[in-house]
């Protein structure tokens, strides 16, 4: 099943995501309707974001391979909905993308063994790790308003270790990979983080980018597709 959230004249509703509709209690809400707005599938209290988790990305950039899981945080204000314009950050002149798989936590948990991770994960979605690439530190590059477009839905029945993905800019393919290429698979990452933090419902854990995350320009449309989940689509706005 895939679930999504929409804002309607009746409020914010959650239902089953079926192509261009979200079905709530048997009633379809057409995403083409001007009164229906597709929202991020959750409002995360925090984003835990894994860095340097694909060998292809590490080799491409000649980075040192981290020992174990390396991560950083994005704040809740970083969430941004699908199908909407990403505001161009006023403090940057070089903005980047990275199409990533992300887990949504379903229940409060701590010290979760790897074999129990499926019991605490509600499902999987897509995050674009927007990056102000000309900023001096990772916290300044990655954590700001709208730095984490998320969606379009949560898929509850996908195998996170074997998903084909691709990222396109204005239709040109920039990234292509399989989640099986991760150095640290999702169950390892979730278990690792749960030793350090109490994970809470709606927390999002993103598992890092494959090779070729790069810059994109104002007005570019970016689509990030993960097999079995869907396509996260946004456009980068113009600088003020």
For the sheet with 84-86, list strands across it: 84-86, 230-236, 221-226, 164-169, 172-178
DSSP state of 206: E
Model pLDDT, residue 239: 93
- Give the pLDDT of residue 184: 96
pLDDT higher than threshold 70 for residue 61: no
Q: What is the CA radius of gyration of the chain?
A: 17
What pLDDT shows up at residue 64? 76
Is residue 58's pLDDT more than 80?
no
Rounded Cα gap, residues 140 and 130, in angstroms: 12
The CATH class of 40-236 is: alpha beta
> pLDDT at position 146, please?
98
Which pLDDT score is estimated for 19? 80
- Record the tokens describing residue 129, joined without a space: 């790790």
Helix (H, G, I), strand (E, B) or coil at 216: strand
- Which 8-state DSSP code applies to residue 138? H
Give the percent of the chain with pLDDT over 90: 90
In this prediction, residues 113-132 reach a mean pLDDT of 98
The token pair that represents 196 in the structure block = 């350090």
* β-strands 121-128, 84-86 pairing: unpaired
Mean of pLDDT over the chain: 95
**Average pLDDT over every residue of 33-46:** 97
Reported as a single tens digit per residue, the pLDDT across 197-212 is 999 999 999 999 998 8
The CATH architecture assigned to 1-39 reads Roll (2.30)
Sheet bearing 95-96, strands edge to edge: 131-132, 95-96, 215-216
Between 120 and 19, whose confidence is greater? Answer: 120
pLDDT tens-digit readout, 140-184: 999 999 999 999 999 999 999 999 999 999 999 999 999 999 999
- pLDDT at 59 > cutoff 90: no
pLDDT computed for residue 54 by the predictor: 87
Q: Please compute the mean of the pLDDT values over residues 199-228 and round it to a whole number.
A: 96
Residue with tokens 């089953």, as numbered in its chain: 16
Domain regions of the chain by residue span: 1-39, 40-236
pLDDT of 52 reads 85
């Amino acid at each position: 099943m895939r679930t999504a959230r929409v804002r309607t004249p009746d409020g914010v509703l959650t239902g089953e995501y079926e192509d261009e509709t979200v079905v709530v209690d048997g009633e379809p809400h057409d995403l083409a309707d001007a009164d229906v707005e597709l929202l991020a599938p959750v409002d995360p209290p925090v984003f835990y974001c894994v860095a340097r988790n694909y060998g292809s990305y590490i080799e491409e950039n000649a980075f040192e391979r981290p020992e174990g899981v390396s991560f950083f945080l994005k704040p809740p204000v970083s969430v941004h909905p699908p199908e909407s314009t990403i505001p161009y950050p006023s403090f940057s002149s070089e903005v980047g993308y990275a199409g990533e798989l992300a887990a949504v936590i379903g229940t409060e948990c701590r010290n979760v063994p790897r074999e129990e991770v499926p019991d605490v994960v509600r499902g999987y979605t897509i995050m674009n790790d927007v990056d102000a690439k000309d900023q001096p530190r990772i916290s300044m590059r990655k954590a700001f308003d709208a730095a984490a477009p998320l969606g379009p839905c949560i898929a509850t029945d996908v195998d996170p270790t074997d998903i084909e993905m691709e990222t396109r800019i204005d239709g040109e393919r920039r990234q292509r990979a399989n989640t099986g290429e991760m150095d640290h698979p999702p169950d390892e990452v979730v278990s690792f983080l749960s030793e350090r933090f109490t994970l809470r419902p709606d927390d999002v854990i993103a598992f890092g980018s494959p090779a070729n995350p790069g810059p994109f320009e104002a007005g570019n449309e970016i689509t990030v597709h993960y097999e079995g989940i869907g396509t996260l689509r946004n456009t980068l706005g113009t600088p003020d």
